[in-house]
Amino acid sequence: MSLVYMFIADGFEEVEGLTSVDLLRRAGIDVKMVSIMGRKNIEGAHGIRLETDLLLSDLGGDTAGADMLVLPGGMPGTNYLRESAELAGLLKAQYEAGRYVAAICAAPSVLAGLSFLKGRKATSYPGCLDGYELGEYCQEPVVTDGHVITSRGVGTAIPFALTLIEKLEGPQMADKVASSILYSKQYLSGVDYESGR
């Protein structure tokens, strides 16, 4: 069974975080929500409160057993993620080991700040990667380049989560979960991700 840690801070974007957790668990993936706030009770950007599974300190500075580390976006949640030196250390170790790191919305800026996107294709919420060095900014809902996965925002949360499942458990499992929630890629056709129309 794959193991995923999702790092959560006050002000995270609830749809991005919880959609990913929900769909990964539907795929049988062991996904743990990890608070970086020093307490398990977290409040999202839109006032939704939750209790995480773990505290950052519970990991003991080691995520070597994790197949993937995931960062949801949202503000000021992304800023808290960016400011955590302990999280940065975990992300660097994961990245350097060639294991998956994934981020959505504003959170790809955390990866960019650690130089993970140099020479890579990536995406984010519009404007969030401005000023960072990367190979190519893309407007696809989800962009995978090697072991780095990025996505654009709330409206791309489902394809983001399904991509994570596909990378960890294969396309058949991703298709099975998509079918179970009546999700079809045809829903994405004709959508302008810049304007939201």
Parallel, antiparallel or unpaired: strands 3-8 and 68-71:
parallel
d(CA 76, CA 169) in angstroms, rounded, equals: 32
Note if 105 is an active site residue. yes
Residue tagged active-site, from 4, 105, 111, 178: 105
d(CA 136, CA 61) in angstroms, rounded, equals: 32
In the block, tokens 């957790």 appear at: 21
Q: Which two tokens stand for residue 117?
A: 């996107």
- Name the residue among 130, 108, 6 with its Cα closest to residue 56: 6
Could you list the active site residues? Answer: 105
